[in-house]
Amino acid sequence: MWIVRINMTDQSYKLEEVPERYKNLGGRGLTSTIIYDEVDPTCHPLGPNNKLVFAPGMVTGTAAPTSARVSVGAKSPLTGGIKESNAGAAWSPAVARMRVKAIVVEGMPKEKGEYWVAKLFWDGKQPAVEFSCAGDYVGKNLYDVFPMVFEKFGKRVHIAGIGVAGEYGYANSGIVFDDMKQRPTRYSGRGGLGAVMGSKGLKFIVVDPEGAPGVEIADPEAFKEGARKLREALGEHALTKPKGGLNTYGTAVLINIMNEAGGLPTRNFRSGRFEGAPKIAGEAIFENNKQRLGKELYNHACSPGCVIQCSNSYYAEDGSEIVSCIEYESDWALGANCGIDDLDGVAKLVYWCNAYGTDTIETGDCIAVAMDSGYIPFGDLDGAIALMHEMGKGTPIGRILGGGTEFVAKAFGNPRSPSVKGQGMPAYEPRAVKGIGVTYATTTMGADHTAGYTIAPEIAGVGGKSDPLASEPSKADLSRAFQMTTAFLDSTGHCLFIAFAILDIASGFQGLIEEVNAMYGLNMTIDDAVALGGEILKRERAFNLGAGMTNLHDRLPEFMKYEALPPHNVVNDLPDEVFDAVHGKM
């Protein structure tokens, strides 16, 4: 097993044997540990001393169901702290099958503005890297560029890279991967990692897995058995089974649910309820597709081996595809949060995020703050699309919007920035769903729902029940437990959505642990796995403290304390001690 180090100062690379302490790590556990070990937390995120780390999950590249995630890590230009952002993409198992545990991108070219493609391939005995000029791909729509890359490097390669947003150094830029139809749609979106890649002059890492030996599994039979248990659980659970909630309506099934709960942030977090919610809900996506295509369209996998298959495509009146995929978060960010109830319009906005390489959540938050500041009105779809193109062109207003939620608010002197550690909030109102507020405030990642998805018990009744509106100290325990478990899950390479099934079906969680044990010859229990998650969080938090953060960065924005949110007319009334308890007890 290797670590591939790519040095962008001189476009060179070297292979390293994976050191003992990294052997059983993968995904987030590995990216965060490498960043913690190697990156000075006080370095400038876009300077020569930051590093960008790609790591497939612990079981990625195997036949484990829904396990093709890749974690990307660095010091974030958005939060100033550590960042791990993961995506499901065929790129990840392709890297894993080359027995590459991680790719570490270091240094930066002396001259700004030159871009390179690094091609990772199997040279017969080991991985190798070839550099070439990326000049042809720079400054362009990724939907135009991806076909050029496949044309040049072959149809079987996979791509990781950046759009113009990463080239411009935007803090809302993501890292893009090709999906199952070679479109630029799978994103490690959050935290501005695209800008880190751009600062290093690296446009794409193209992976050609031809001839790769595949992953090694210590006990293949036990592995199969674990994977079977997990697959069964996924096939049973109402949310994850075929033609279940996610496979039918996609993640946007949550629009109506969150709206009903009064926790769907609307018009830059001015309300928890959006009158246009039904028009942009997952049900509307399904119904519009049905009407426009003349048949029921169930969702597809974002990456190989996924059995949940929650990724949709959305079609125009004329039957042509507008975009794949409209996630709940994207739908909300560019819809409800901007006061836009036009689903075709939201789909177009998602398309342009993909085309330019921005995170849909951060982008929606940024546009909504600009609307909140009076730059364009709420609900102005044409204005929002025009702003997307400003971002695409790198104009001054584009650069403001590209700077991230807090940056936009600062540009307009607006104290209503729905963000934590500079990162814009996702699609759950923390005043109306207290536990997710604790996660937003305390995760090492900046406002991030995936880091400790207490929505499961607070809204979906999965993994227990917890009253979303109750301002209880126990929300700290709830969030901490989810954060620890998630840090482990994010390390396995499995999609977070397996959590729905394994939280409710014990044999599924057991199967997951058996997979990992069989892969690495370990004897972990579930408790060990959660404890490993806790260790990962500790490293991440240590990095953040080393970057100058304190417990005072684990807070929701001030305006949520004094501005009551309709319809429940609730404020953030959790005492600071609750937020501090999350890491205090860990």
- Return residues touching its own copies (CB under 8 A): 42-44, 46-49, 77, 168-171, 195, 198-199, 395-397, 399-400, 403, 407, 410-415, 546-550, 552-553, 555, 557-559, 562
570 forms bridges with which residues in the sheet? 565
Q: Which stretch of DSSP H or E encloses residue 193?
A: helix 193-199
Smallest separation (angstroms) from its own copies to the CB of 401 = 9
Nearer to its own copies, 292 or 410 (CB): 410
Contact 37, 51 (CB under 8 A): no
Smallest separation (angstroms) from its own copies to the CB of 76 = 12
Smallest separation (angstroms) from its own copies to the CB of 9 = 12
Residue 1: Cβ within 10 Å count: 15
Q: Which stretch of DSSP H or E encloses residue 187?
A: strand 184-188
Q: Tell me if the bond preceding 325 is cis, omega within 30° of 0.
A: yes
Q: Which of 262, 274, 579, 253 is nearest to 435 (CA)?
A: 579
Nearer to its own copies, 204 or 375 (CB): 375
Helix pair angle (360-372, 343-356), 10° resolution: 120
Nearer to its own copies, 124 or 413 (CB): 413
> How many whole angstroms separate alpha carbon 86 and alpha carbon 493?
9
User: Pairing mode, if any, of strands 202-208 and 314-315?
Assistant: unpaired
Q: Which of 336, 571, 581, 362 is nearest to 469 (CA)?
A: 571
**DSSP secondary structure letters along 364-403:** HHHHHHHHHTTSS-TT-HHHHHHHHHHHHHT-HHHHHHHT
Smallest separation (angstroms) from its own copies to the CB of 271 = 18
271 forms bridges with which residues in the sheet? 266
Nearer to its own copies, 267 or 410 (CB): 410
Helix (H, G, I), strand (E, B) or coil at 7: strand
88 forms bridges with which residues in the sheet? 69
Smallest separation (angstroms) from its own copies to the CB of 434 = 19
Smallest separation (angstroms) from its own copies to the CB of 476 = 19
Smallest separation (angstroms) from its own copies to the CB of 112 = 8
Number of H helices, E strands in the chain: 24, 16
Nearer to its own copies, 47 or 213 (CB): 47
Smallest separation (angstroms) from its own copies to the CB of 170 = 7
Nearer to its own copies, 47 or 220 (CB): 47
Nearer to its own copies, 447 or 481 (CB): 447
Q: Which of 334, 339, 189, 307 is nearest to 252 (CA)?
A: 334
Nearer to its own copies, 48 or 379 (CB): 48
Amino acid at 462: V
Nearer to its own copies, 205 or 370 (CB): 370
Smallest separation (angstroms) from its own copies to the CB of 399 = 5
Nearer to its own copies, 171 or 498 (CB): 171
Smallest separation (angstroms) from its own copies to the CB of 391 = 12
Amino acid at 510: Q
Contact 310, 249 (CB under 8 A): no
Which residue pairs, CB below 8 angstroms and at least 24 apart, start in 141-145? Answer: 141/355, 141/356, 141/392, 142/176, 142/184, 142/354, 142/355, 142/356, 142/357, 143/183, 143/184, 143/351, 143/354, 143/355, 145/184
321 forms bridges with which residues in the sheet? 315
> How many whole angstroms separate alpha carbon 439 and alpha carbon 479?
6
Smallest separation (angstroms) from its own copies to the CB of 477 = 24
Nearer to its own copies, 77 or 426 (CB): 77
> How many whole angstroms separate alpha carbon 473 and alpha carbon 230?
33
Smallest separation (angstroms) from its own copies to the CB of 130 = 27
Contact 429, 557 (CB under 8 A): no
Smallest separation (angstroms) from its own copies to the CB of 82 = 15
Q: Output phi, psi for 433, to 5 deg.
A: -135, 95
Nearer to its own copies, 195 or 347 (CB): 195
Nearer to its own copies, 69 or 431 (CB): 431
Structure tokens belonging to residue 234: 């996924």
Alpha-carbon distances, residue 218 vs 59, 76, 97, 213 (angstroms): 12, 35, 15, 15
Nearer to its own copies, 26 or 194 (CB): 194
User: Pairing mode, if any, of strands 116-122 and 100-106?
Assistant: unpaired
Smallest separation (angstroms) from its own copies to the CB of 28 = 25
